[in-house]
Chain A
Amino acid sequence: MTAPITISLEVNGERVDTSVLPRLNLADFLREYLKLTGTHVGCEHGVCGACTVRVDGEIVRACLMLAVQADNASVETIEGLSDSGEIADLQAAFRDRNALQCGFCTPGMLMAAQDLLKQTSAPDREQIREHLSGNYCRCTGYQAIVDAVESTARARAGRTA
């Protein structure tokens, strides 16, 4: 085992200084060190997308990134996006459409959906399905999620148009 390494980063706008073992992944760091339970772990090998978070504005799989790699970075989790109100409309659309059942995939799904909506203002259903195809949901059948993302895109386009 190697010795702990000191890291300093920002998580949801708060500065964090700590030391971690080099092998600790970012998902476990967020969950176990910072007690941010919103970042879920479904597969630990980068397939399910439940652990999706934003690092310096880009979505990543927190199970595939080491905590030490986030040194000096800005990390945003579902808790941060919820508190800032950034995805309030998307969350409302998920609620109206019942786009979640057990909710375990939902934080990762919302992170990925918001990422798409930031890049593409009017994605069609095919593009939404494509962009979310790295996020596994066992409960919903995906259609309600696609509907919710589609209606959020429309509403946002209407607002900014």
Chain B
Amino acid sequence: MTSGPEKRDPLSVLDRPNSYIGKIVPRPNLDRLMQGRGLYVSDIELPRMAHVVFLRSPYAHAKIIRIDASAAKCMPGVVAVVTGQELAAVITPWVGVLSHLKGLKSAPQSAIAIDRVCWQGEAVAAVVASSRSAAEDAAEHILVEYGELEAVTDMSTALDPATPVIHASLGDNLAFERNHDAGAVDQAFAGSDEVVEAEFIFGRHTGVTLEPRSVVADWNAAEARLTIYQGTQAPHMVQNIAALHLGLREAQVRVVCKDVGGSFGIKVHIYADEMATYALSKLLRRPVKFVADRVESFNTDIHARDHRCKGKIGVQRDGTITAFEIDDLTGIGPYSMYPRTSAIEANQVVNLVGGPYVTQNYRARARVVFQNKNVMCQYRAVGHPIACSVTEGLVDLAAMKIGMDPVEIRRRNLIADDAYPCASPSGLRFEQLSHHAALTKLISMMDYDALRAEQAALRTRNIHRGIGIASFIEVTNPSAAFYGVGGAKISSQDGVAVRLDAQGSVICQTSITEQGQGSESLTAQIVGSTLGISMDRVRVILGDTDNTPYGGGTWASRGAGIGGEAALQAAKVLRRNILDVAAAILQSTAGELDIVNNNVVNASDGATRIELNELARIVYFRPDTLPPGIQPELMATRHFVPREYPFAFTNGVQASWLEVDTDTGFVKLLKHWVVEDCGTIINPQLVDEQIRGGVVQGLGAALFEKCVYDERGQLTNANMADYLVPMSGEMPDIDVGHVVSPTLETELGAKGAGEAGTAGAAAAVTNAVNDALRPFGAVITEIPLTPQVILTALGRI
């Protein structure tokens, strides 16, 4: 289902014969995973490896008065019991701020709490033992005396003068505030035919990666080197941060990332317990393994999206949107996460609200406050679901107010497909988006008119179905404007090295990582296509700071767009080098030759001249037979980062079709549609499945997922039985379609697709529920849409 403008140069490497780009090819690493023969961090065992278990605070806020570990130290198998104070001898504390987020503040955070704990689940001591069970047994014998302090839990009162300040040195509980005012907002509202306001509430939820966070840290005292095996999305970032806080040079730290059991932004951060594990290995001079159990995952993996956002929209009778205004409040726990900080999401919400629409009148305030709850930070589609739900919720409310169809109001306001390049009301620069093409495609995929007719017919039989539409913009291919400008040592460029081995196969080392998205496959597809080599002869190495070029890794939908372009450029150089050698061997010129199907051929008639295998044999084993002065370089490296646009914005639109049982409050998802534009599609199947996975994460937030805290800051549903996640029985089939507007900033033209599904799913579902409930006059602007929320809105409870 691909359509839209194709603006490529017809001679581009994308159009070479036998190109794998745009084709469905199976991922090379699947058999290993399907046979249970992958290597996840939780599988790793090393000689003399010990296991660490963290004793965690039962209180949300308390002073640590005394820790008595004497009994625990005598338990069988115990290697050491280490407190925060003791660990501080090998690792320094950190502060999660970035200079471009002006005014962002946070307090120093230690690997293990020293005098005070600030959330339920913060580690107060580490027990290292010969087995995990021995460490768990011993942890029960540690006596900790706490002095409980008042906990700040409600973000809406966190800034009140009567509320205690969590970090006295910061003066108040305000971590960050951003104000934005563009156009003439007051005038626009005053001149509007209608103004609609609503407050949107988003539950705090979390990632629930199926493999919990795990790390094995191995300090080799003889080499003075630390090897960290960790399922991370950013190995070089981990290397840099671990070195910095352990007083090592980067060259003394190696990060190895094999298979990763899910990440979604959960594993792009560095957690205090991981830092503690690195430090314990150094302190105890032996490998130490930490694997979070599920309860720990719920209490310590970053949470996401705890927002309350007041929104306002102005509209004319003819449907013209005149202005948007938002006031967003979000609670981030007691610290801003390090090194990416916990203010990026609120900042993103300000950036993205109103993004698909024409109006230039936009005012926003975002405030980020501290609380005594687990830390909150960036998770898949950072800020997108909030911005999309607020924007699309307001657009639907405006449409309802003026009696216009939700599709029609969008048609009248979405930025025209020929208006680019242009800027959004918050100053974002768009290169090329395709909102109208995407909406048109969506409407035809879902057969909108037929669904509306079905809805009307069923309503007469007291069956309440709804249609929800959500347009969105998506941030992908982030440049240094994301973190680098704020001083974070998080690389935005990626590098790929490719080399022809002695049997004519290709090895590529890339700095992007694989967590199941298909990074390995897309790299092999690009390199194979560019070189004219079959994919079974391309091997990709990733996830090892000793063996890959320096780079950012895989997050914020950057793997294909940035890492893919680096692969393309490196392969082009290698191709030229191969043809130069071939020309020397064949007494021809490089311009007369080409590589197709593992052979150097005549460009003119395609006749085979020499197999790459034979060329490699000559270069590596009989270079003496080459003409004098020829030094073949069968290896090439290229790096890439976008420079012209700080982000490659993409867009898409989703629709949900569902049924609400007005007696029980249950929502049954019937069907979901997505159309998105990620530019050049490298492997349609990988893109579609990535989008479907993203949609289901968004649907989880819309209907089920919520971290429930009580007023004392206790997380009351920290297990998979009480914290509901989408399972196959509740999920609908999801149709995915594409519009293709390649970015012209790269030769490949790829933009990201990882956030699209999550970005708009909750907004589409909420709009559909409200559409279903229209006969009852109920409007809900809160997720998750639990039966309780729905029955309350219906006045049934």
Chain B residue total in the interface (Cβ 8 A): 59
Residue of A nearest to B34 (CB): A91
| Cβ of B42 to closest chain A Cβ, rounded Å | 7
| Cβ of B445 to closest chain A Cβ, rounded Å | 15
What string of 1s and 0s marks CB contacts (under 8 Å) between A55-67 and chain B? 0000000000000
Interface majority SS (helix, strand, loop, mixed), chain B: loop
Residue of B nearest to A21 (CB): B133
Pick the contact of A100 from B34, B685, B733 — CB < 8 Å?
Answer: B34
**A153 — which chain B residues lie within 8 A by C-beta?**
none
Residue of A nearest to B696 (CB): A141
State in angstroms the CA–CA spacing of A79 and B757 once bound together.
34
Given A44-B294, A47-B721, are A102 and B210 also a contact pair (CB < 8 Å)?
A: yes
Contact B293 A136 (CB under 8 A): no
State in angstroms the CA–CA spacing of A23 and B131 once bound together.
14
A151 within 8 A of B: no
> Counting chain B CB atoms within 10 Å of each CB, which of A91, A125, A135, A141 scores highest?
A141
Contact B36 A37 (CB under 8 A): yes
State in angstroms the CA–CA spacing of A136 and B35 once bound together.
18
**A79 — which chain B residues lie within 8 A by C-beta?**
35-37
B171 within 8 A of A: no
Pick the contact of B36 from A82, A130, A136 — CB < 8 Å?
Answer: A82
Contact A136 B720 (CB under 8 A): yes
Contact B261 A40 (CB under 8 A): yes
Given A45-B294, A129-B728, are A102 and B262 also a contact pair (CB < 8 Å)?
A: yes
**B696 — which chain A residues lie within 8 A by C-beta?**
140-142
Pick the contact of B517 from A43, A96, A101 — CB < 8 Å?
Answer: A101
Pick the contact of A82 from B35, B686, B728, B730 — CB < 8 Å?
Answer: B35
B447 within 8 A of A: no
State in angstroms the CA–CA spacing of A106 and B211 once bound together.
12
Binds A, one of B89-97, B475-483, B687-695: B687-695
Contact B693 A103 (CB under 8 A): no
**B729 — which chain A residues lie within 8 A by C-beta?**
129-130, 132-133
Given A47-B720, A101-B693, A141-B695, are A129 and B731 also a contact pair (CB < 8 Å)?
A: yes
**B693 — which chain A residues lie within 8 A by C-beta?**
101, 138-141
**B694 — which chain A residues lie within 8 A by C-beta?**
141
A145 within 8 A of B: yes
Contact A42 B27 (CB under 8 A): no
B484 within 8 A of A: no
A68 within 8 A of B: no
Pick the contact of B211 from A40, A44, A94, A100 — CB < 8 Å?
Answer: A40
Pick the contact of B689 from A35, A78, A91, A144 — CB < 8 Å?
Answer: A144
B725 within 8 A of A: yes
B515 within 8 A of A: yes
B769 within 8 A of A: no
A11 within 8 A of B: no
A50 within 8 A of B: yes
| Cβ of A30 to closest chain B Cβ, rounded Å | 10
State in angstroms the CA–CA spacing of A103 and B26 once bound together.
14
Given A104-B262, A141-B695, are A48 and B686 also a contact pair (CB < 8 Å)?
A: no
State in angstroms the CA–CA spacing of A79 and B518 once bound together.
23
Contact B259 A141 (CB under 8 A): no
Contact B728 A48 (CB under 8 A): no
| Cβ of A62 to closest chain B Cβ, rounded Å | 12
State in angstroms the CA–CA spacing of A145 and B34 once bound together.
12
Pick the contact of B733 from A1, A38, A107, A143 — CB < 8 Å?
Answer: A143
B727 within 8 A of A: yes
Interface positions of B from 206 to 223, Cβ below 8 Å from A? 207-212
Q: Size range of the interface on A?
A: 35 or more
A120 within 8 A of B: no
A134 within 8 A of B: yes
Residue of B nearest to A36 (CB): B36
State in angstroms the CA–CA spacing of A105 and B516 once bound together.
12
Pick the contact of A37 from B27, B37, B137, B697 — CB < 8 Å?
Answer: B37
State in angstroms the CA–CA spacing of A102 and B33 once bound together.
8
**A133 — which chain B residues lie within 8 A by C-beta?**
727-730
> Counting chain A CB atoms within 10 Å of each CB, which of B208, B720, B730, B734 scores highest?
B720
> Counting chain A CB atoms within 10 Å of each CB, which of B30, B720, B731 scores highest?
B30
A9 within 8 A of B: no
| Cβ of B75 to closest chain A Cβ, rounded Å | 11
State in angstroms the CA–CA spacing of A105 and B360 once bound together.
46
Contact A141 B689 (CB under 8 A): yes
**B209 — which chain A residues lie within 8 A by C-beta?**
102, 138
**B137 — which chain A residues lie within 8 A by C-beta?**
1
Contact A103 B689 (CB under 8 A): no
State in angstroms the CA–CA spacing of A116 and B262 once bound together.
26
Given A41-B42, A43-B294, A98-B686, are A143 and B34 also a contact pair (CB < 8 Å)?
A: no
State in angstroms the CA–CA spacing of A36 and B36 once bound together.
8
B22 within 8 A of A: no
State in angstroms the CA–CA spacing of A78 and B35 once bound together.
6
**A138 — which chain B residues lie within 8 A by C-beta?**
207-210, 262, 264, 693, 697, 725
Residue of B nearest to A99 (CB): B689
**A95 — which chain B residues lie within 8 A by C-beta?**
26-27, 30-31, 34
**A101 — which chain B residues lie within 8 A by C-beta?**
262, 515-518, 689-690, 693
| Cβ of B207 to closest chain A Cβ, rounded Å | 8
**B733 — which chain A residues lie within 8 A by C-beta?**
125, 143
What string of 1s and 0s marks CB contacts (under 8 Å) between A77-101 and chain B? 1110010000000010011111011
State in angstroms the CA–CA spacing of A50 and B210 once bound together.
8
Pick the contact of A98 from B26, B39, B43 — CB < 8 Å?
Answer: B26
State in angstroms the CA–CA spacing of A39 and B32 once bound together.
13
B contact set with A: CB distance below 8 Å: 26-27, 30-40, 42-43, 45, 133, 137, 207-212, 259-264, 293-294, 515-518, 685-686, 689-690, 692-697, 719-721, 725-731, 733-734, 757
Q: List 6 additional A-B contacts (Cβ < 8 Å) besides A82-B37, A100-B33.
A: A37-B39, A44-B293, A98-B518, A101-B693, A129-B731, A143-B733
Shortest 5 CB-CB distances between A and B: which pairs? A38-B36, A103-B33, A101-B516, A104-B261, A141-B692
